Structures are given as structure tokens and as C-alpha cells.
Homo-oligomer: A and B are copies of this chain.
Amino acid sequence: MESQDLRKVGLKVTLPRLKVLEILETSDQRHMSAEDVYKALLEMEEEIGLATVYRVLTQFEGAGLVSRLSIDGGHAVFELEDGTHHDHLLCVRCNGIEEFVDEVIEQRQRAIAKQKGFEMTEHSLYIYGICRKCQESQ
């Protein structure tokens, strides 16, 4: 019932929005750039412009349907929002992304913000490295 999801967050039900949502839900990559989504759309014969993909993803972000990761000064990748806060491990070799949750880190961050007098709005934590698979295959 994807149409309902869109209406629920106050977005008109349009083909581009339905198709972008479909890609995000059915792709085997959990993390996709706008370009990735655009190419996946082309593969399913949906001629949706890249600008529209960006617009839709940005709206989805605003609506809380997806979250945006800003990777290392470069491009952004998007993931379907699943309600859990988590941080990311990025493989610098294969660009794979893994997720993790660590309550100790979460709590330390809140403590640091408080100690510095910051009203924390969000945080971003990326651990860069070489994933197990890439270490083995080399």
C-alpha cells in the first residue's frame, strides 16, 4: 500500500514517487545514491529525470521516509528509514556500507554536547576502513 504511505505524509501520489519508493524497497542495495536510483529506474524502463529523482528523495527525507548520509564530502546516499538510529562503517575499497548501533557512543555524545553547552540536534559518525571481504580477497 505505497500510495497510502505517500498520502499519509502529504505528498501527491505520482508515478515518479511510487517508482522511486519501489526501487528503494526492492533493490538489493540498502544504500543508494540519486544516480543509483536513476539508473535503476532506467533499467525498469521508467524514464524519470535525474532532477526529479533528487527532488523526490529530498521530499522523502523531509517526510521521514528516507534518511540521507553525506559521505566524506562527496555524494549523498539514501536509505529507507526504518525507525532505528544507527551509524555506519564504510569500506574504502568496495564502498560497501554496514550499519551499527552503539548505546555507549550515543550516550557519550549526549554527555559531551551537554558539557559543552550544546543543544544537540543530530550527529554523524562514520568509521572508514577495509571490510572483511576486501581484506580476504587480496
- Taking Cβ atoms with an 8 Å cutoff, the residues of A that contact B are 70-76, 89, 91-92, 98, 100, 102, 104-105, 108-109, 112-113, 116-132, 135
Partner of A123 from the list B75, B91, B109, B127 (CB cut-off 8 Å) is B127
Contact A112 B102 (CB under 8 A): yes
Shortest C-beta distance, A69 to chain B (Å), equals 9
Taking the nearest CB of chain B, how far is it from the CB of A9, in angstroms? 23
Q: Which residue of B lies closest to A134 (CB)?
A: B119
Q: A73-B70, A105-B105, A105-B108 are in contact. Are A120 and B128 (CB under 8 A)?
A: yes
Tell me whether B127 and A98 are in contact (CB under 8 A). Answer: no
12 A-B residue pairings within 8 Å (CB atoms): A73-B75, A89-B118, A100-B112, A102-B108, A105-B105, A105-B108, A105-B109, A109-B127, A118-B130, A121-B128, A124-B126, A125-B126
